[in-house]
Amino acid sequence: MRESERLANALALYPEDTQEAAALLKQAVPLMMRHGIPPNPVHYALWYTYCRGHEPDLNHQLDRLVKEAGSFPADSATKLFRDYIIRDELEAAHAGQQQAIDLVDDMERDVSNSVKINLNFQASLEHCIEMLDEPIALPSILSELQQSTQLIQDQQTLFLSQLRAAQNEITSLRAKLERVQLAATMDSLTQVLNRNTFTRLLEQALGNEPQGVALVMLDIDHFKQFNDQYGHPLGDRVLQHVGQLLRNALPAHGIAARYGGEEFCIILQRCADGDSVYAFAEQLRLKIRTLRIKTRSTDELLDTVTASFGVAFAESGDSVESLVTRADDALYKAKRNGRNQVQ
């Protein structure tokens, strides 16, 4: 499995576009300030969700806390975040953990039974050896050995069957865990990495060796007007097509992510020079321009999709913020200069 496929999640939890998210934050931040709530990711997530109004129980809990406590206890915030924001991920992880525990318990029981049968067989052999001093007892010896041997064969057959079942269970459990991991790193709509994972991987790339690391940022042109004209479902299809195009076009050491709304990022590593990065971005621009999307109801061919690109090469001492800022500045330069170009 490629790194980009193995490695969404915050954006899956918060599918709002940039405008919607900004409007919700304009409500959430004043609420936090009014109640003296420290600005940190957990608190932002809770009050952003509060303003969305999709979790009435959470809203009730938050209202009660700020009214009764007069403050916002950190342990309460953590519990609410766990219970209302990431509960699905935790439930999936707990279910996987319990399956693993049950599987180990079953295997321990089966191995214990096998050991017990073998000890009984050993005791039977010792008894038979003692009986060999009495020739008349030979038929009894053979009968006892036959029964003990049959018990061992039956236990070994059962254990082998249960071991194979355990192997199948392990395979199924591994697949479930991989799906949970994938859901925590991927953007569910576009199937590229989410912003949190992008930030972590870019920080890792810069920490390992900034030499040869480049960042490509792209923004779909006039996307708001597209959504207004054709509706959000068709806008989602455009994002899905662009995500697929990015996945197919990635080089071996490339990582694609949805940065937010209609904006995407690509981390390139082991780049020879700026010209090769520019050429890669230019090829992507041309491929996006060739996308043709039709409405499902009328089969009407929609307007050509274009995107503006900003490219930045990592320098010694770069942080995630400084590299993203330079790529973002280049992207907005492309937009100011007429869009559908690489800067």
Check residue 7 and give its pLDDT: 39
Asked which of 35, 52, 85 is the last residue of a domain, the reply is 85
Answer yes or no: is 343 within a domain: no
Answer yes or no: is 273 within a domain: yes
Is it the case that residue 215 has pLDDT exceeding 80? yes
Calpha distance 254→240 (Å, rounded): 19
Answer yes or no: is 9 within a domain: yes
Is it the case that residue 3 has pLDDT exceeding 50? no
Calpha distance 273→46 (Å, rounded): 44
Please spell the DSSP secondary structure of 257-269, one letter per residue: EEEETTEEEEEE-
Q: 276 and 242 in one domain?
A: yes
Asked which of 183, 205, 239 is the last residue of a domain, the reply is 183
Token digits for 212?
A: 């040869």
Q: 151 and 36 in one domain?
A: no
Catalytic residues: 262
Q: 129 and 72 in one domain?
A: no
Which residue segment(s) compose the domain that 113 sits in? 88-183
Is it the case that residue 84 has pLDDT exceeding 80? no
Q: Where are the beta strands (DSSP E) in 111-240?
A: 214-220
Residue 322 near residue 290 (C-beta atoms within 8 A): no
Check residue 92 and give its pLDDT: 58
Q: 332 and 204 in one domain?
A: yes
Between residues 282 and 298, the one the model is more confident about: 282
Answer yes or no: is 293 within a domain: yes
Answer yes or no: is 207 within a domain: yes
Check residue 233 and give its pLDDT: 85
Answer yes or no: is 134 within a domain: yes
Q: 27 and 13 in one domain?
A: yes
Asked which of 183, 215, 230 is the last residue of a domain, the reply is 183
Buried b (16+ CB within 10 A) or exposed e, 138-147: eeebeebeee
Instruction: Report the predicted TM-score, pTM, of the whole model to 2 decimal places.
Output: 0.53
Q: 300 and 174 in one domain?
A: no
Q: 202 and 170 in one domain?
A: no
Is it the case that residue 269 has pLDDT exceeding 80? yes
Q: Using one digit for the tens of pLDDT, what is the confidence trace for 132-181? A: 666 556 667 666 666 766 676 676 677 667 666 766 776 676 666 666 66
Q: 129 and 47 in one domain?
A: no
Q: 286 and 174 in one domain?
A: no
Q: 304 and 268 in one domain?
A: yes
Please spell the DSSP secondary structure of 190-215, one letter per residue: T-SB-HHHHHHHHHHHHHH--TT-EE
Q: 227 and 178 in one domain?
A: no
Residue 279 C-beta-side C-alpha neighbours within 13 Å: 7
Where residue 52 falls among pLDDT bands split at 50, 70, 90? Answer: confident
Answer yes or no: is 342 within a domain: no
Where residue 10 falls among pLDDT bands split at 50, 70, 90? Answer: very low
Q: 319 and 207 in one domain?
A: yes
In the chain, the amino acid numbered 144 is E
Residue in the block written with tokens 């790194």: 3
Q: Which CATH number is 215's domain given?
A: 3.30.70.270
As for how many domains the chain has, the answer is: 3
